[in-house]
A and B are shown apart, each in its own frame.
Chain A
Amino acid sequence: MTLLTRVWRALPGDSGTDRGLSPVVGKTLELGIGVLFVALLTATFFGGLVPDYRATVGAELGDRALVAAGDRLETAAPSERFDRIDRRVTVPLPETIRGDAYRIVAADDAGDPTLRLVHPHPSIGGRLRLAIPRRASISGSWTSSSPSWATVSVTEESFAVRLVDGGGLGTDASTATPVPTPSPGGSP
């Protein structure tokens, strides 16, 4: 009753009350603006910004995982001449990218051995051409959720790189026989 009296007294053109709004309206406005502001901010962030960031970070992580795996394979399958290589290496891969498991698949890109990242999210993926001898044939695939290995077997005739998925292959092992260097000498 006192509130209403105050409001009614405030309304008829009093100089002190012309500038302001009544407390109820003021508070309601405040509340409304506050709620609107929070809703706007939430919509902006979760509607556009946050998914964008997650996609960018996911793409970057995917690229990095691909390059890490590629570097590992390139070290294990060198371009130098070797008579015979038998290698078995572990390849550490992050288990998930953006919350989902993914696969790295051996592929072929115009004759070059390539690794391809397969991920459920459309913006995460990529292909990496490997800097290994062109005659290498690469096969198999890795799943990120299980341990990943690679075996490299090089002989005179063949150069095989296999991506092996799953555990049970034991520890890393490597034997490599370099090509015997010709003895130095002059020619008369």
Chain B
Amino acid sequence: MNASQLRAPTDRAQANLIGFAVAVIVVTTVAVVGVALANDAVADADRRPLATHAAERLADHLVAADAAHTRGPNVLRSRATANLTPAALDAAVPPLRNRSFRVSLGTETVVVRGHPSAAVAGGSAARRGARVTRRVRIERAVERSTRIDLADRRAVTLRDHAGPVVVVVDPAPGQSIATLRAGDRIVLHDPDGLAGRYVVSVPQTRPLDLVFVTRGRPVVVGATATVTWTEPTARTASLVVVVGG
């Protein structure tokens, strides 16, 4: 009886201490896990507002209808876009100054300054970058030209066209073509006869028929007309803008 009474309190104290130590370890572990989760949550909730603002403004400018390198909203001109420089973009988009950025179409980079996506180890929220994606159409202008002999053919059909059309009429002596009609609109009319080089704006319908109207007058062999227009070849791509701090 003495032995058991002696053993019980010390056993209890020892079990107490071990139990307490385990409890301390458990609470510490949970606290550490909680702090790690809190860190992740804070990093996740960081939307990098200033960089996102700059990225959105840059993307807005790149797809703007009235920019120098676009033909319309979300329609980029291939060569003008390839020739964009960081300085030009800085001038057009003030929030972009002093920031690194990269603009890419699909997989190829169009403009880059610095290393925008580089994550700075231990950096503050202000250093990391933001990314904006827009869908755009990139057009490359291909110039096409066709020359017709007005004795056989009076019409040219433009399958797809963009911008003004250049018409050069070479009349035969003693014969005149008075009118050029594009679609249902008369774009050139000269009662004395068309001769020389004309730049005409044509309606937007595609495909477009250009018809030289002779109105019953006989056409002398030797009159020719050359029509030159730009036919855009286009592809759809993703414009990705990444702006760093």
The answer on a CB contact under 8 Å between A70 and B188 is no
Q: How far is the CB of B178 from chain A (nearest CB, A)?
A: 12
A184 touches B201 (CB 8 A): yes
Q: Is A169 an interface residue (CB 8 A)?
A: no
Consensus secondary structure, chain A interface: helix
**Interface-forming stretch among A86-94, A127-135, A149-157?**
A127-135
Q: Is the Cβ of B49 less than 8 Å from the Cβ of A188?
A: no
Are A22 and B10 in contact (CB-based, < 8 A)?
A: yes
Residues of B within 8 A of A128 (CB): 50, 53, 95
- Among residues of A, the one whose C-beta sits closest to the C-beta of B10 is A20
Question: Closest CB-CB distance, A6 to chain B, in whole Å?
Answer: 7
**Complex interface: chain A residues within 8 A of B42 (CB):** 53, 56-57
Q: How far is the CB of B73 from chain A (nearest CB, A)?
A: 12
Bitwise, A108-150 to B at CB < 8 A (1) or not (0) is 0110110000000000001011111010000000000000000
Q: Measured between alpha carbons, how far is A23 from B11 in the docked complex, in Å?
A: 9
Contact: B14 with A19, CB < 8 Å?
yes
B121 interface residue per 8 A CB criterion: no
From the candidates B50, B187, B198, B200, name the one contacting A63 in the complex (CB within 8 A). Answer: B50
Stretch at the interface among B16-24, B223-231, B234-242: B16-24
State the CA gap A36–B139 with chains docked (Å): 71
Chain A residues lying within 8 Å of B57, measured Cβ to Cβ, are 74, 131
Q: Who on chain B is nearest to A68 by CB?
A: B49
Quick one: CB contact mask for A59-77 with B, threshold 8 Å, 1 for yes?
1100110110011001000
Contact B53 A186 (CB under 8 A): no
Question: Do residues B97 and A110 form an inter-chain contact, with CB atoms below 8 A?
Answer: yes
On whether the beta carbons of B49 and A67 are closer than 8 Å, the reply is: yes
A187 interface hit (Cβ, 8 Å)? yes
Q: Are B200 and A186 in contact (CB under 8 A)?
A: yes
Report Cα–Cα, A131/B57, bound state, in Å. 7
* A105 in contact (CB, < 8 A): no
- The CA of A112 and the CA of B57, in the complex, are separated in Å by 15
Q: Please report the C-alpha to C-alpha distance between residue A34 and residue B23 in the assembled complex, in whole angstroms.
A: 10
Count of A interface residues, CB-CB < 8 Å: 50
Known: A112-B97, A129-B97, A131-B93. A26 touches B17 (CB 8 A): yes
**B45 touches A (CB below 8 Å):** yes
Nearest chain B residue, comparing its CB with the CB of A29: B17
Best-buried of B2, B7, B66, B200 by chain A (most CB within 10 Å) = B7
A57 to B, closest residue via Cβ = B42
Residues of A within 8 A of B (CB): 6, 9-10, 14, 16-17, 19-23, 25-27, 29-30, 33-34, 37, 41, 49, 53, 56-57, 59-60, 63-64, 66-67, 70-71, 74, 80, 109-110, 112-113, 126, 128-132, 134, 184-188
Q: What are 29 A-B pairs at a CB distance below 8 A? A: A6-B5, A6-B6, A6-B9, A9-B2, A10-B10, A16-B7, A17-B6, A19-B14, A22-B13, A23-B9, A23-B10, A26-B13, A26-B14, A27-B13, A34-B20, A34-B24, A37-B24, A56-B124, A59-B125, A63-B49, A63-B125, A126-B50, A128-B50, A129-B95, A129-B97, A186-B202, A187-B200, A187-B201, A188-B198
B interface residues (Cβ-Cβ under 8 A, vs A): 2-3, 5-7, 9-14, 16-17, 20, 24, 27-28, 31, 35, 38, 42, 45-47, 49-50, 52-53, 57, 60-61, 66, 93-95, 97, 124-126, 187-190, 198-202
